[in-house]
Structure formats: C-alpha cells, structure tokens
Amino acid sequence: MEMAKTLKNFLEMNGVEYDVLMHRHTDSSVNSAHAAHIPEGQLAKPVILEDDKGYLMVVIPADNHVKIGEINRLLDRNMGLATEDEIPALFTDCEPGAIPPVGQAYGLQTIVDNDLDACRDIYFETGNHEQLVHLNGDAFRQLMKVARHASVCRH
C-alpha cells in the first residue's frame, strides 16, 4: 500500500520536505521503530480519544502512554479511548493501526506532547505498516504549529 493520500496531500500543501523509510511489516509503533532502527522516542504515534463532543488526536512518543486524566483536565472534558470500531471511519485511506499523527489533515483537534518538540528527527506511520515518514524536528514543529502542545504522556 502507498502512503495515505490525505497525508501526502497535507505534507505537500504545507511544503514539508520529508523522506520515506521502508521497513518490514509490523503490528505496532514500537515494532516499527525497531524494524526501522530508530529510537522509539522519535516515532510519533497517535492516540484517538472521544467523548460526546467528538474526537481528539493526541500525539505522543511511541514508547509512552497518554495521560487521559491530564487531557480531561486541560480541556475540561470527559474523554476516553475511541474504540477500534470507530477509528477506521475517521481514517478511510489508512490501514487499521497505521494512522499518521497529523489530526489536522483529517479534521481532528490535535494535542502534541512536549517531548516530541525536543526531538531532532521525527518519524511516523504513513497509513500503512511498511513505511515511515521522516521529518527533521523543525519541519515537524512547523507542521504541528496549530496543534496544542502540552505534557500529556508518561513513559
């Protein structure tokens, strides 16, 4: 499968330079990092939350877990994890489990964890289980400039 069209269009529309890194088929972000020989903390993974007001994408390092309580406190909401059944309808051009962490491209409010802002290089899924996008840190921060940034994960 090729890179998700929504992601490709979003990167091109924002004038972001990127590389695509191939790796063996994997079933998780951490395994993708291992297969591509990159640090887990530099691979950005999305976590989709939801409540009665809608969906939210939280972008965190692959080796971390989202602090849902912190998200709820920040936004004054009562969010929980979106179910596996809900997610494919939001990302129709992606394979399940290979969602790119660019919520803006898919019309989702996005929060980026501060740990990713400090990374020199960022990698993330392209919408399939065999490719990663590689951006330098400045390009990633530019791409995520409209997202909220906060400390929302734990190792």
* pLDDT tens track for 109-120: 999 999 999 999
pLDDT tens, 76-127? 999 999 998 889 999 999 999 899 999 999 999 999 999 999 999 999 999 9
- In this prediction, residues 33-42 reach a mean pLDDT of 93
Query: How much is the pLDDT for 111?
Result: 98
Pick the CATH number of 5-154 from 3.40.50.300, 3.40.50.620, 3.90.1150.10, 3.90.960.10: 3.90.960.10
pTM for this model (two decimals): 0.95
pLDDT at 28: 87
First-to-last C-alpha distance (Å) of the chain: 31
Q: If you average pLDDT over residues 46-68, what whole number do you get?
A: 96
Domain ranges of the chain: 5-154
Mean pLDDT, the chain, integer:
94
Tell me which of 4-13, 23-32, 41-50, 138-147 is least confident: 23-32
- Residue 1 pLDDT grade (very low, low, confident, very high; cuts 50, 70, 90): low
Note whether 99 and 3 are within 8 A (CB): no
